[in-house]
Structure 1
Amino acid sequence: MDHLHQRLVTVFGGSGFVGTQVVQTLARRGYRVRVAVRRPDLAGHLKPLGAVGQIQPIQANVRNMASIQRAVAGADFVINLVGIGYEGGKQRFGVVHVEGAAAVARAAKAAGATSLVHMSALGADAQSESNYASSKGAGEAAVMEAFPQAIIMRPSIVFGRGDGFFNLMGTLARWLPVMPLIGGQSNFQPAYVGDVAEAFVLAAESKVKTGRTYELGGPEVLTHKALLELVLRETLRTRPLFAMPTWMANIVAFKFSLLPFPPLLTADQIKLLAHDNKVSDEARSQKRTFAAFGIAPTSMETILPSYMWRFRRNGQFDRPEERQNSLAE
């Protein structure tokens, strides 16, 4: 940490699943980290990831330009991880993914930041029928217009302890008699959160070509059906897969939207599940993948057993080999 207290990195949305890993990676490299979040009082878990005073959560909202400008003041690098999976209240896709992203890019440029790394998502496309994907695509264009040398990162589903996908599927496997399957033949390429965080930091350090878009996917491409089967194997659960028709899924999503808590499924997510979510052939041929960062992506089988045991009937006391032996008998 020989350069501790010299270079400053501002991370917007740094208290979430991916953000926590990015902040920890930056701290290990000795950077001072300013974490810009809406609720600094809920970001206290970040401070122990670095030395005393190295990580400082501050209040900022991508809907408020003055708070953005305060957050980027004096920053060498800016990383924007802010995103929402569903709309609610003032948190709208266009406001957060397009207007907010553009505001961060403009403020970073005006503040003299030498690099900007923006988190998008695989499948981002301004012409997509999904409001989420179309807003992500429009956000990319807005960021590049304001900060032409920005780096756009498009990760697939990100997995790791505390992720939103496999933990949700594990919970469903524990509580439901069947596993609902929507868009079962769509392909996904989950990426490990540690690899994604490493790539973001290397991008901030301009270790790859700037003004480009990078697609981050893991070593395995599996269908949605295969991912659910993997969840069942890891949780040692036996559940039939129920191929849910789109019309039925939309009814379920509508009912979720009426409940007073975050929905498990939205109509927009149903549209996303119908399309592949994997690294494009073009990105692979141009080496705009983990390969550009010199990262060999980590497989799911290496990481999933370290936390999916929580969804087994007897937790860590259930062993996969014991289950296999009992089935053989």
Structure 2
Amino acid sequence: MMIKNALLLGGSGFVGTWIANRLSKAGVRVTIPTRRRERNKANIMLPTVEVVEANIHDEATLVELMRGQDVVINLVGVLHDHDSRLPYGKGFAAAHVELPKKIVAAMKQAGVRRLVHMSALGADPAGCSEYLRSKGEGEAIVMAAAKDLDVTVFRPSVIFGIGDKFLNTFARVFKLAPFFASGGMKAKFQPVYVGDVADAFVACIENLATFGQRYELCGPKVYTLRQLVEYVRELTGNQHKKVKELSDLWAYLQAGILWLLPNPPMSPDNLRSMDVDSVASADGQTYPGWNPTALEAVAPTYLGKVAPKSKLDDFRYHAGR
């Protein structure tokens, strides 16, 4: 199979920008649909990438976008939904459940067979949060289509790297606040580098052995949330600032208040997600040849107190270079 054209859904996001860059370097023509083209400067500047304004939730539009494509990569995901309900709100349903259904149907109609789908570690239709339940439902829809399509599913832990909203959020709190206070400090994560995730997505496209498979993408080391926060505190030169763990009551009160912000850094559903450790499972399948980059090898380059190169890299990232 020779991949020449790729439809990258969710390509304007953090991981999508990295994957678009990898595909462009490989000479693949990439189409990235977005609601606001002017907000995608990093991708517009890539030589083989076309950013088009389109509503991917419209079924007819989705079919037209897929015509002539060799692979569809779905990265669409949301972390928050203000329409909280059981089993999940309308926002989670639209992004994580209904869209995968539409993607599968549109691929069949357009005659595209190859689908690479971004799920999440801990995704489960019976999970402890709306996010994990909706992600689990979407993953199940994609895997059920494996009899008709060539499907690969990835389940990453939290993803870090230049431009992330994970470690950078901790750094911003230390910059603005006299201390860091949060619930879920004992929750465990196995952070994975965005460059490794992008490499796996691109490498699997033409690998027939990955068809019908589901892979966990995790870094080489497990950390508690407290350990990660304290590491960012050290990197940013804020050792004098305290890290405090909130009780469940205060943690959910804090999350509820933050949830009201336009771009909330935390929500009650995020806290519920942390009831399940985001680490490799005993029976999970690792991507072939997986050799993940250590957090300590990358985080200092963009979070370090003295890291002039990281500033240049950050400018290049946001400029699309």
- TM-score interval w.r.t. the shorter chain? 0.7 to 0.9
Cα offset, 1:274, TM superposition: 2.5
Q: Distance in 2 between matches of 1:258 and 1:289?
A: 38
Aligned match of 1:37: 34
Cα pair distance change 1:17/1:43, threshold 3 Å: same
RMSD of Structure 2 on Structure 1 (CA): 2.0
Cα offset, 1:236, TM superposition: 1.6
Cα offset, 1:88, TM superposition: 4.5
* Contact kept in structure 1, 2:300 and 2:307, CA below 8 Å: no
Aligned match of 1:99: 98
* Contact kept in structure 2, 1:115 and 1:206, CA below 8 Å: no
Q: Distance in 2 between matches of 1:250 and 1:181?
A: 9
Q: Kindly indicate whether residue 307 of structure 2 is the aligned counterpart of residue 295 of structure 1.
A: no
Aligned match of 1:61: 55
Greater RCO (CA < 8 Å, at least 6 residues apart):
2
Letter of the structure 1 residue corresponding to residue 300 of structure 2:
P
Which TM-score applies when normalising by structure 1? 0.86
Aligned match of 2:315: none
Q: Kindly indicate whether residue 232 of structure 2 is the aligned counterpart of residue 218 of structure 1.
A: no
Aligned match of 1:120: 119
Aligned match of 2:198: 197
Aligned match of 1:26: 23
Cα offset, 1:256, TM superposition: 2.5
1:301-316 alignment runs, 5 A limit: 301-309=296-304, 312=305, 316=308
* Contact kept in structure 2, 1:130 and 1:272, CA below 8 Å: yes
Q: Distance in 1 between matches of 2:188 and 2:68?
A: 42
Q: Which moved more, 1:58-67 or 1:192-201?
A: 58-67
* Contact kept in structure 2, 1:38 and 1:61, CA below 8 Å: yes
Cα pair distance change 1:57/1:169, threshold 3 Å: same
Q: Distance in 2 between matches of 1:202 and 1:217?
A: 17
Q: Distance in 1 between matches of 2:113 and 2:7?
A: 12
Q: Kindly indicate whether residue 16 of structure 2 is the aligned counterpart of residue 15 of structure 1.
A: no
Aligned match of 2:255: 253
Cα pair distance change 1:316/1:28, threshold 3 Å: closer
Q: Distance in 2 between matches of 1:153 and 1:257?
A: 28
Question: Whose radius of gyration is greater, 1 or 2?
Answer: 1
Q: Distance in 2 between matches of 1:118 and 1:278?
A: 19
Q: Distance in 1 between matches of 2:23 and 2:307?
A: 33
Aligned match of 1:320: none
Q: Distance in 2 between matches of 1:146 and 1:58?
A: 27
Aligned match of 2:280: 279
Cα pair distance change 1:163/1:189, threshold 3 Å: same
Would you say how many aligned residue pairs link Structure 1 and Structure 2?
A: 300
Letter of the structure 1 residue corresponding to residue 57 of structure 2:
R
* Contact kept in structure 1, 2:259 and 2:265, CA below 8 Å: no
Letter of the structure 2 residue corresponding to residue 78 of structure 1:
V
Aligned match of 1:131: 130
Q: Distance in 2 between matches of 1:78 and 1:147?
A: 14
Give every structure 1 segment of 4 or more consecutive aligned residues whose post-TM-superposition deviation is greater than 4 Å: 88-91, 314-317
Letter of the structure 1 residue corresponding to residue 206 of structure 2:
E
Q: What is the percentage of aligned positions where both structures have the same residue?
A: 35
Q: Distance in 2 between matches of 1:257 and 1:153?
A: 28
Cα offset, 1:129, TM superposition: 2.2
The Cα offsets for residues 238-271 of structure 1, whole Å up to 9 and x where unpaired, read as 2222111111121122222334x12121010011
Letter of the structure 1 residue corresponding to residue 9 of structure 2:
F
Aligned match of 1:111: 110
Structure 1 segments unaligned to the other structure (5+ residues): 318-329
Aligned match of 1:325: none
